[in-house]
Amino acid sequence: MARIELKQIAHSYLPKPEAESDYALRRHDHVWRDGGAYALLGPSGCGKTTLLNVISGLIQPTEGRVLYDGEDVTDLPPQRRNIAQVFQFPVIYDTMTVYENLAFPLKNRGMDTARIEARVGEVAEMLELTPHLRRRAMALGADAKQKISLGRGLVRSDVAAILFDEPLTVIDPHLKWQLRRKLKQIHERYHLTLIYVTHDQNEALTLADQVAVMVEGEIVQVGTPQDLFEDPQHTFVGYFIGSPGMNILPCAVEPGAAVVGGQRIPLDGRLSDKAGAVQGALELGIRPEYLCLAESSANGAVPVAVKRVEDLGNYKIATLSLGAHTIKAKLPEDQDVPGEQAFLTFPPERTKLYADGRLVA
């Protein structure tokens, strides 16, 4: 296993990149800890596959260096990087048996037959492929084929890291859940450095100890699911993690308060002092969970119009408007919500400010 370090890494698919938007990966540093289980989460097109391919060596980055345990591997081809990579769609040999497919990466490295048998048996057992070992891969369905692909990624225990690129996309939902648990167990047992790409926040949160969130070619935050929930460093993290996501409202700042839709929302004093000096478009961020309804405008509560209330059993989601802005509040199931007009409290310790999408800390 290895610690993987990306130093000032950037990649453009264009021959002569100029503007920042020409880069699929924007220049940044990042370290993947040895033995860590990471999910790499971000919307389609944000650069997740590009980043994995830079790590594995399928892509030579336009700029920057890739280090494994301090050793510069930027110029080494994938075969010499000792990485296992599992793609979105099965990459297997159709004419080989399941056994031969799983044994292939080990045979290639000259492992003796007895050890290959033991290891293939173990991996097949884990993935419930044992009954199919003697069958040809082409005779199997899409799920089983993708399990073979996963198995080929997992069969070597001496790799520097395993990279998964949305490997459960073609797998049916029930099996998906089962395989996710399996991968987690495998990580716990072997302490592999594992990077798992997904655009599904549930998948990311169940699988990984640490979630790296990527936006427009850059990793903007790495943290535990709780860090990402409590302290989003970027509006995208706030919006993407959580259901519903964080409320993000364009605002202006005055001493002691943010102004949204003509209403003053009290801020932590130090925050409003800082915001006065910050460049860029300001936005207020607050999670639906932290908003409270109030009886009146006392204590800084602001008047809002009630648009809709959905009762979801354990809680209610109220859709409210403040001037031209829509706000979602997650309320206790027994909370009475007035029909048209309500007052909303933004607890200052939970109310965050963002400048050009980044947290004002």
Give me the least distance between CB of 236 and Mg ion, in Å please: 17
Among residues 9, 37, 50, 360, the one that binds ligand ADP under rule CB under 6 A: 50
Per-residue exposure over 313-336, b if at least 16 CB sit within 10 Å of its own CB, e if not: eebbbbbbebeebebbbbbeeeee
The runs of H, that is alpha helices, within the chain are 48-56, 98-107, 113-126, 142-154, 173-190, 201-207, 225-230, 235-240, 269-275
DSSP-derived secondary structure letter, 136: B
Q: Is 20 in the site for ligand ADP (CB under 6 A)?
A: no
d(CA 197, CA 204): 8
* Binding track over 205-244 against ligand ADP, x by CB under 6 A: ----------------------------------------
Residue 158 partner contact from Mg ion, ligand ADP, none using kind-dependent CB cut-offs of 5 to 8 Å? none
Q: Is 12 in the site for ligand ADP (CB under 6 A)?
A: no
The identity of residue 3, as a single letter, is R
Chain positions contacting Mg ion, by CB under 5 A: 49
Structure tokens that stand for 120 in this block: 């293939």
Residue 44 partner contact from ligand ADP, Mg ion, none using kind-dependent CB cut-offs of 5 to 8 Å? ligand ADP
Check if the beta carbon of residue 145 is closer than 8 Å to that of residue 92: yes
Q: Is 98 in the site for ligand ADP (CB under 6 A)?
A: no
Among residues 8, 13, 60, 264, the one that binds ligand ADP under rule CB under 6 A: 13
d(CA 306, CA 146): 48
Give me the least distance between CB of 178 and Mg ion, in Å please: 23
Give me the least distance between CB of 6 and ligand ADP, in Å please: 14
Nearer Cβ to ligand ADP (46/282): 46
For ligand ADP, the binding residues (CB under 6 A) are 13, 24, 42, 44-50
